[in-house]
Chain A
Amino acid sequence: MSEPGTPIAVVTGMSAVTAIGVGLETYWANLLDGACGIRPLSRFDTTGYPTRLGAEVVDFDSRAVPGRLVVQTDRWTHFGLWAGEQALAHAGLDPAQLPGYALSVHTASSSGGNEFGQHEMQGLWSVGPQRVGAYQSIAWFYAATTGQLSIRHGMKGWCGVLVAEQAGGLDTCAQAQRALAQGSAVVLTGATEAPLAPAVLTCHIASRLVSTADDPQRAYLPFDEAANGFLPGEGGAMLVVEPADRARTRGAHRYGVIAGHAATFDPRPGSDRPPRLRHAVEQALDDADARPGDIDVVFADAHGSRPADQAEARALTEVFGRCGVPVTTTKAATGRLAAGSPALDVVTALLAMRDGVLPHVVNVHRPAVDLDLVLGAPRPARPRTALVLARGYAGFNSALVVRAPEPDPRHPGSTEQGTASSAQ
């Protein structure tokens, strides 16, 4: 990301929708408090399903979404519309006052509008084509959230959606940086997901990687001796990204810099070549002009199955040395949100920098890996550079480096860190 002429991409607005809190500061306070959002699923009858738990968002009020859009979009888009509006407000931006063609939306989505689509398919097969609503044409598909945000806020610049399961949530932040390089003034990016409907949950279960435990506090234990799979959750995060110069000129608070990114893909199953997560990490560090010693915290992919946890620990140890960097994850608290989690982790990393604290991994007490996991309680720290990792089902790897806000050239030596908490 350091090619000459490429604008520095800074994050100026953030929002979060999670099972442990709807809204940025509620989520963050509850995360530090050790909340766990995993609970029995309530949106459909789970009798007969081997997995009956998930990190369901129970306190999202769809009345917060414009009435016309509630009925024509899926739950995942409801989250995205709300979080997008919150992030823009957090950045102090009113898109209506800005030139539309300089505004972009780039989100990621791993499975689109699951609940809406299933409802329409049930109508098709139980009643007939006349039962399928007109909105099926626009509600289910991956670009729906990007499209609805674009329409709602008049963001008419380069817009798109990335589909790479978990990894898409980081790839889209890099895409936001590319949009700035193409001339966009503001990019709304991130991802939300809502995969807790019967058909999509069944797809997850078929992977045999989903936990079937019954105790919500013991069901998703990444890196733990008792790890037995992941649990999906709902929600995610949205971010506003702008060129650093623009943010500085308008006096916006800068939460951090998107400093480097790389994406790789694993060899085919059964290959004797190693997985490529390590290469994504190394290339992202290169892209950020960073050395392993510069990284103050890693937000891990934290899959929660033994082989995947071991593989991630191996990659981190190869790059950072044994217990060479603090490692944490939000997923034991929020569930695995597909593309939503990495976007949320970027937000969480920037909040960790703002407040000087590393969130801990909830529920994990007996790690089975040789990593410096943040366990038991939040850890006071002064992180300046963070690495966020994501692996997507079937072989996607993505790594993103974020840094604390760059010093203001008009005030050499200032980093904003000392004044950050006053801008909450």
Chain B
Amino acid sequence: MLAEKFTLSDLIEIMRARAGVAEGVRLDTAIGDTSFLELGYDSLAVLEIQARIAERVGVSMPDDAVSRMPTPNAAVEFVNQQLAQGR
């Protein structure tokens, strides 16, 4: 079943639970346009975040999904595009 809409707070919940929070980073601040790398997430972490998003919202992600979500805001936008296409 597809979710209605994927939000930044959904994403942050997944980041916190499944990829952890780096030292000195606060996910409750304005992080939407900060790159995942700057937030302390390496490519494996982004892969894990993407896999959990796919499971949560019920869309399958294309192989290049990781490269299309450099920041949290980009990720939210990309996921909502995928949701719209799947509807």
Give the interface of A toward B (CB within 8 A): 66-72, 130-131, 133-135, 137-138
Contact = CB atoms under 8 A, between A and B. Distances in A.
A135 B19 CA distance: 9
Interface string B56-68: 0000000000000
A133 B48 contact: yes
Chain B interface secondary structure, helix, strand, loop or mixed?
A: helix
A68 B20 contact: yes
A67 B23 contact: yes
B55 interface: yes
A68 B21 CA distance: 5
B54 interface: yes
A71 B23 CA distance: 13
B30 interface: no
Contact of A67 (B20, B44, B48): B20
Interface in B22-47: 22-23, 40-41, 44-45, 47
B17 interface: yes
Interface residues of B, number: 17
A135 B51 CA distance: 11
Nearest to B40: A68
Given A66-B20, A133-B48, 20 more contacts: A66-B22, A67-B21, A67-B22, A67-B23, A68-B19, A68-B21, A68-B41, A70-B20, A71-B17, A71-B18, A71-B19, A72-B19, A130-B51, A131-B55, A133-B18, A134-B44, A134-B48, A135-B44, A135-B48, A137-B44
Nearest to B23: A66
Contacts of A71: 17-20
18 contacts: A66-B20, A67-B20, A67-B23, A68-B19, A68-B22, A68-B23, A70-B20, A71-B18, A71-B20, A72-B20, A72-B48, A130-B54, A133-B18, A133-B48, A133-B52, A134-B51, A135-B48, A137-B44
A72 B45 contact: yes
Contacts of A68: 19-23, 40-41, 45
Contacts of B51: 130, 133-134
A130 B55 contact: yes
Contacts, number: 43
A68 B44 CA distance: 12
A202 to B, nearest CB: 27
B55 A69 contact: no
B34 to A, nearest CB: 15
Nearest to A73: B20
B18 to A, nearest CB: 6
Contact of A69 (B20, B44, B54): B20
Contacts of A72: 19-20, 44-45, 48
Contacts of A134: 44-45, 47-48, 51
Contacts of B52: 133
A232 to B, nearest CB: 28
A127 B21 CA distance: 27
Nearest to A136: B48
A70 B48 CA distance: 14
Contacts of B44: 72, 134-135, 137-138
B10 to A, nearest CB: 17
A80 B20 CA distance: 18
Contacts of B54: 130
Give the residue among A71, A130, A137 with the most B Cβ atoms within 10 A: A71
Contacts of B21: 67-68
A66 B52 CA distance: 21
Nearest to A70: B20
Contacts of A131: 55
Contacts of A137: 44
A69 B18 CA distance: 11
B40 to A, nearest CB: 6
Contacts of B40: 68
